[in-house]
């Protein structure tokens, strides 16, 4: 039998279903940072994000124990879909529309893309400014567009994974990305912002 650390997330999930609690501990440690960042990004409130994160993993555990997980796709996409549904339920309970308005405290500074950019000091400064402008414009997008951009560029999810996670068709996910990019280009043009990395 494989060592737990050598197992894929999908294998760990099945091992947990078979009664191995250590498999779930490793599964949680592998996925918690990415999942919490996603939830925090969407709801923009740490306390709410922590509550929704806990509720998501409660549902993950429940569904695993009920045998409602199959290895037909990536475990992380399955968990993201559960998180998405938990957040949508929370929004409905709050009787709020699905658009989250950005404010001064929600500037996406918790996302780090600077480690993806390497160059000399001057190029780093230019790249940091471009990334800051992009994050600011992303905050101004409707929530469904912002969510797709985040999943695609900050979590490197495929459009199929995004569609599965958000319970929409691939065409809808692609459409949301298209509108997000059009909106961001318009914002850049209207504000004289250059979005080209050095």
Q: Count how many Cα atoms sit within 13 Å of the Cα of residue 88 in the half-sphere of its side chain.
A: 11
Say what the pLDDT of residue 182 is: 83
Is residue 49 within 8 Å of residue 40, measured between CB atoms? yes
DSSP letter (8 states) at residue 150: I
% of the chain beyond a pLDDT of 90:
14
> Rounded to an integer, what distance in angstroms lies between the CA atom of residue 100 and that of residue 63?
29
49-106 tens-digit pLDDT: 999 998 998 889 888 888 888 777 789 889 988 998 898 888 878 754 444 444 455 5
Residue 90 sits at the vertex; the CA angle it makes with 85 and 94, to the nearest 5 degrees, is 145
With 0-12 / 13-18 / 19 or more C-beta atoms within 10 angstroms meaning exposed / middle / buried, residue 3 is: exposed
**How many beta carbons lie within 10 A of that of residue 101, not counting itself?**
12
pTM above 0.75, yes or no: no
No. of helices (H) and no. of strands (E), the chain: 8, 0
Say what the pLDDT of residue 26 is: 92
10-37 tens-digit pLDDT: 999 999 999 898 998 899 899 999 999 9
Average pLDDT score over the chain: 79
CA-to-CA dists, residue 109 to 15, 136, 143, angstroms: 37, 9, 17
> Rounded to an integer, what distance in angstroms lies between the CA atom of residue 98 and that of residue 23?
35
Is residue 140 within 8 Å of residue 102, measured between CB atoms? yes
């Amino acid at each position: 039998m494989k060592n737990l650390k050598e197992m894929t997330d999908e294998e760990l999930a099945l091992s947990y279903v078979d009664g191995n609690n250590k498999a779930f501990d490793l599964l949680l440690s592998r996925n918690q940072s990415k999942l919490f960042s996603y939830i925090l990004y969407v709801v923009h409130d740490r306390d709410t994000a922590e509550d929704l994160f806990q509720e998501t993993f409660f549902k993950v555990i429940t569904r695993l124990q009920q045998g409602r997980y199959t290895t037909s796709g990536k475990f992380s996409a399955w968990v993201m879909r559960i998180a998405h549904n938990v957040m949508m339920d929370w929004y409905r309970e709050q009787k709020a529309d699905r658009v989250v308005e950005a404010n001064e405290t929600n500037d996406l500074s918790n996302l780090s893309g600077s480690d993806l950019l390497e160059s000399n000091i001057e190029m780093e400064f230019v790249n940091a400014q471009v990334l800051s402008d992009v994050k600011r414009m992303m905050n101004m997008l409707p929530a469904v567009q912002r969510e797709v951009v985040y999943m695609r560029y900050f979590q490197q999810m495929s459009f199929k994974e995004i569609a599965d996670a958000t319970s929409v068709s691939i065409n809808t996910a692609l459409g949301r990305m298209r509108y997000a990019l059009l909106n961001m280009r318009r914002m850049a043009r209207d504000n004289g912002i250059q979005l080209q990395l050095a």
